[in-house]
Chain A
Amino acid sequence: MKKFKSCLYWEGRTKYERLRFLFLALICANLLLWIMPESWCRYADDTFFPAVMLLSLFYSLSALVMMFYPTLSLVSGYGEFYRDMERLTGVPVWQRHAAKLAVNLAVTGVLFVLVKIGENVMTKFAGETHSYFRMQLDLPAPEMILAVSVLFPVLYIWAYLVLYQRNGNRHGVLAWVIAALLFNMFHFAGIDMIWRIVIRTLICVPFFISAGRMEKRLDI
């Protein structure tokens, strides 16, 4: 348990170091736009249109990071020099994965809140004819956050390792496609969100275990 806490700490620290500028930028932008009076925003929309577009782009990119980074961060360590340092600790693979997923969840939650606030403040620039950055979500927020940070990454790393095991190459795109297919295989019509979450999580458990076993066996 003590070692798992350490995994959480170091994984959290790693993600923080990688994302802190993004967090800072989001907080600053949100703060700035929040205190800006609406009249200024209208003026900016008319005269400094490119600048407003840039802001919108910034929020869009942040949303992209939120969607993609948790999944990709699960395999970004493979082939890096610090893998030796991680593996020599002797901590079981599943603990390392679980720590990564837990941090993913926290990071995605924070990013979601920040981007959502951004979406709100950007409406100040919206006119009758146009509006700016809006998050389009297929799923309700909690389910989306869990799916993006935990469930989809599990399927992705499983697919990635299966492909790696077959011919030693890293097929990121193909793994993504496979994971997406797996994720969308089950259609839930008329089921409450909480049950959808439970079912999806349960489905991911065998993939999680299998991925851990594969990573241990491969020299990766």
Chain B
Amino acid sequence: MTAADDILQDRGTLLTMRQANKWLDGRKIINMADLTIKKGRIIGVVGDNGYGKTVLLKMMAGLMEQDSGEIVRYTKEISFVLSGRSFYPWMRVMDALKYYRDFYDDFDINRAQQLIGESALEPDRKIRLLSTGQQERLCLILALARNSRLYLMDEPLNGIDPPFKKDFKKFLLANLPEDASVVMATHLLKELEYLFDEVLFVTGYGIRQMETEEIREKYHQSVEDYYMEVVRCEKV
């Protein structure tokens, strides 16, 4: 890390991407990505359905490496929220907790068990047999019971049954550690817009990082409208 990076870390920057590119199957999925993730922000990742958003998140998590450009992480405490399918087929709820306890030093299993109880999840139930909403809640609990600084979520509300969908925002906000940041990919802007401090618009032409208040104040549009009318039509 350079001296400039040290300053960034002190100022509460968690992760930066500089001109990152990624090709998959011959297509350029991530094009010259420049972005900065600061602490204490909830950031939405918005883009047309394709796998740009997922790739971006996986690159942040370290599951994928960029082909060129630079990704600098100023913290190791990055928590990638899994999906309900991400476990061994035979695993039960309690197994997932034990797995996290075994591999993550910052995992608080007591807290996790408490949240499991509050969410009415049975520790002995096979994860495959839970509803999608319950699976997502489990994944959230596993991630939030880690005292991380950055949480990465890939379309957490996708296909979730309504009761858990309704509770998602409250549960997240109630259990998010202080000063932690969230980067969340979603296509449900309408429901989540007011949650976000910033948005990352992911298009085939690049990534635009904007503050949601800026969009509302300057353009008097909801973020969703702005995305539909402005970003999607742009060929920057």
**Direct contact between A and B in the complex (CB less than 8 angstroms)?**
yes
By a beta-carbon cutoff of 8 Å, the part of chain A in contact with chain B is 3, 6, 9-10, 14, 17-18, 81-82, 84-85, 87-91, 219
Contact A87 B87 (CB under 8 A): no
Dominant secondary structure at the B interface: loop
**Distance between Cα atoms of A89 and B63 in the complex (Å):** 11
Q: A9-B102, A82-B88 are in contact. Are A88 and B83 (CB under 8 A)?
A: no
B9 to chain A, nearest CB (A): 20
When the two chains form their complex, are residues A81 and B99 in contact, meaning their CB atoms are under 8 A apart? no
Q: Which of B63, B85, B90, B104 contacts A81 (CB 8 A)?
A: B85
Q: B61 interface residue, CB < 8 Å from A?
A: yes
Q: A14-B88, A17-B90 are in contact. Are A84 and B103 (CB under 8 A)?
A: no
In angstroms, Cα B87 to Cα A9, docked, is 15
Given A82-B86, A85-B82; 5 other pairs, CB 8 A cutoff = A14-B90, A81-B83, A81-B87, A84-B80, A89-B103
B228 at the A interface (CB under 8 A): no
Please tell me the number of chain B residues within 8 Å of chain A, measured between CB atoms. 16
> Which of A10, A84, A91 has a CB less than 8 Å from the CB of B82?
A84
Bound-state CA distance A17–B83 (Å) is 22
Q: From B65, B85, B90, B104, give the contact of A89 (CB < 8 A).
A: B104
The listed residue (B65, B87, B90) touching A85 by CB distance below 8 A is B87
- Shortest Cβ distance from residue B73 to the other chain A in the assembled complex, whole angstroms: 12
B64 within 8 A of A: yes
- A-B contacts, 14 of them at CB < 8 A, read A6-B103, A10-B99, A14-B88, A14-B90, A18-B90, A81-B85, A81-B86, A82-B88, A85-B86, A85-B99, A87-B63, A88-B82, A89-B103, A90-B103
Name A84's closest neighbour in chain B (CB-CB). Answer: B86
How close is A14's CB to chain B, nearest CB, in angstroms?
6
A6, B86: Cβ atoms closer than 8 Å: no
In the assembled complex, which residues on chain A have CB atoms less than 8 Å from the CB atom of B90? 14, 17-18
Residues of A within 8 A of B82 (CB): 84-85, 88
Kindly provide the distance from the CB of A164 to the nearest chain B CB, expressed in whole angstroms: 15
Interface hits, B66-110 → A, CB 8 Å: 80, 82-83, 85-88, 90, 99, 102-104
By beta carbon, the residue of chain A nearest B85 is A81
Chain B positions 33-87 with a Cβ under 8 Å from a chain A Cβ: 61, 63-65, 80, 82-83, 85-87
Partner of A6, one of B61, B64, B102: B102
Q: Known: A82-B87, A82-B88. Contact between A88 and B102, CB under 8 A?
A: no
In the bound complex, CA of A101 to CA of B45 (Å)? 40
Contacts of A18 in B (CB 8 A): 90
State A9–B41 Cα separation when bound (angstroms): 38
**Chain A: minimal CB distance from B160 (Å):** 17
> Looking at the complex, which one of A3, A17, A88, A91 makes contact with B63 (CB distance below 8 Å)?
A88
Contacts of A87 in B (CB 8 A): 63
In the bound complex, how far is the Cα of B104 from the Cα of A3, in angstroms?
Answer: 9
Q: Is the CB of A88 within 8 A of B99?
A: no
